[in-house]
Amino acid sequence: MEQISRTSIQAKAFEFALLELIYSKRDSFQPLWSVDSWAKFLIWLSLNCGLSGEKESLEMFAKAMGSALTSRMRKIFFERALEDLSLHVMADPAEAQVLIMPIALDKMINDNDVVQALERIGLSDKVSLSSAAWERHDSIVSIPWNVKSDI
């Protein structure tokens, strides 16, 4: 029992530290909202883990991280929560669309809040700000990228 608790605590502490690292550094890698920014973050992380920038070293780092952890990190890297607008934005450039959903289940998303969110997080030049280009699916708004050249 003690070993399970110890392992669980270590895992939670690791996850917390990793999440905080992603939150604090994700806006440091330009251009934002691009595959390049994600790659730069991973390279920075591997270098700070003591690996070289050589291709073999980076591949070893990616393999050691594993696909489940890397996928979770990427999801967090490309998400934003705007509490004051009660909106959650998922904007992975590898996906066909940016998704915007309410944080609170009972909130209806209005167009002005969507535009404000896109402008605030630096997506206004990467997606259409015209609601005519958006699709609504119940409480989710999906917005296509202007140009899909960054995959």
Structure confidence at residue 148 (pLDDT): 62
CA 94, 99, 102: angle at the middle one, nearest 5? Answer: 150
Q: What is the pLDDT of residues 11-33, one digit of tens each?
A: 899 999 999 999 999 999 999 99
How far is 149 from 151, CA to CA, in rounded Å?
Answer: 6
Coil, helix or strand at residue 20 = helix
pTM: 0.88
Burial status of residue 105 (CB atoms within 10 A of its CB: 0-12, 13-18, 19 or more): exposed
Q: What is the pLDDT of residues 39-70, one digit of tens each?
A: 999 999 999 999 998 999 999 999 999 999 99
Q: What is the pLDDT of residues 109-118, one digit of tens each?
A: 999 999 999 9
E strands, 1-139, are: 79-82, 87-90, 97-102, 135-137
Note if the bond before 144 is cis, omega within 30 degrees: no
User: At residue 131, what is the residue type?
Assistant: S
How far is 114 from 78, CA to CA, in rounded Å?
Answer: 17
